[in-house]
Chains A and B, each alone.
Chain A
Amino acid sequence: DVKVTQSSRYLVKRTGEKVFLECVQDMDHENMFWYRQDPGLGLRLIYFSYDVKMKEKGDIPEGYSVSREKKERFSLILESASTNQTSMYLCASSLPLTGSEKLFFGSGTQLSVL
């Protein structure tokens, strides 16, 4: 079974702090994604990466950056956390799209910014 592991289940941070969310997958997947999920808004794509050192902006990249130095690891960085970044963050991985993509999600990180 594919395993996508997110480093923290719950995080509490202060406004202005730099926050790192880590994600590791063990199935040699090329694609990795960061989503946030908010009530009434569903999952929204922040950034994705289709290869090492490659990154592309998703629908809501503002206030975030990412890093993919190794194939198995995709990090989401909040340079200066703000209260509107309080959310559930979900990492996912997949093989390249073939018309029947299957996303494997980590268990999520609930981030609270105070």
Chain B
Amino acid sequence: RKEVEQDPGPFNVPEGATVAFNCTYSNSASQSFFWYRQDCRKEPKLLMSVYSSGNEDGRFTAQLNRASQYISLLIRDSKLSDSATYLCVESSGGYQKVTFGIGTKLQVIP
């Protein structure tokens, strides 16, 4: 079983729609979680950290469910510029253990 699992998509949604991605993780000792965004042929960039109590940054909301071992990313009022691949990342601490999911591709359609 992969340590971090994501649905690769693509998710095709119309502008203005709300879309949510889930990501499951297998390591119950995971300490930190993040969402990265990667545009086509570009490097990944940190979108937001995921806090236990859930956190929001504008149209983006991230949540963590430790009991069920998943994190989620909700995007409200989707924009064309949100089209990208969203990578789920977990860290179990220490220098090495940062694990990336394969990413979920989002395509926002006019």
Taking Cβ atoms with an 8 Å cutoff, the residues of A that contact B are: 31, 35, 40-43, 45, 48, 50, 56, 58, 90, 96-97, 99-103, 105-108
Max count, chain A CB within 10 A of own CB: residue among B93, B96, B102: B96
CB of B96 within 8 A of CB of A99, answer no
CB of B32 within 8 A of CB of A41, answer no
Task: Kindly identify which residue among A40, A45, A100 contacts B49, using a CB–CB cutoff of 8 Å.
Answer: A100
CB of B32 within 8 A of CB of A99, answer yes
The answer to whether A102 and B102 touch (CB under 8 A), given A56-B96, A97-B94, is no
Chain B interface SS verdict (over half): strand
Task: Kindly identify which residue among B42, B93, B102 contacts A97, using a CB–CB cutoff of 8 Å.
Answer: B93
Any A CB within 8 A of the CB of B43: yes
CB of B93 within 8 A of CB of A99, answer yes
Closest chain A CB from B92 CB (angstroms): 10
Task: Kindly identify which residue among B32, B43, B87 contacts A101, using a CB–CB cutoff of 8 Å.
Answer: B32
CB of A43 within 8 A of CB of B91, answer no
Any A CB within 8 A of the CB of B31: yes
CB of B87 within 8 A of CB of A105, answer no
Cα-based distance from A43 to B98 in the complex (angstroms): 10
CB of B95 within 8 A of CB of A50, answer yes
The answer to whether A42 and B102 touch (CB under 8 A), given A105-B43, A105-B44, is yes
Task: Kindly identify which residue among B34, B91, B100 contacts A42, using a CB–CB cutoff of 8 Å.
Answer: B100
CB of B103 within 8 A of CB of A42, answer yes
Any A CB within 8 A of the CB of B20: no
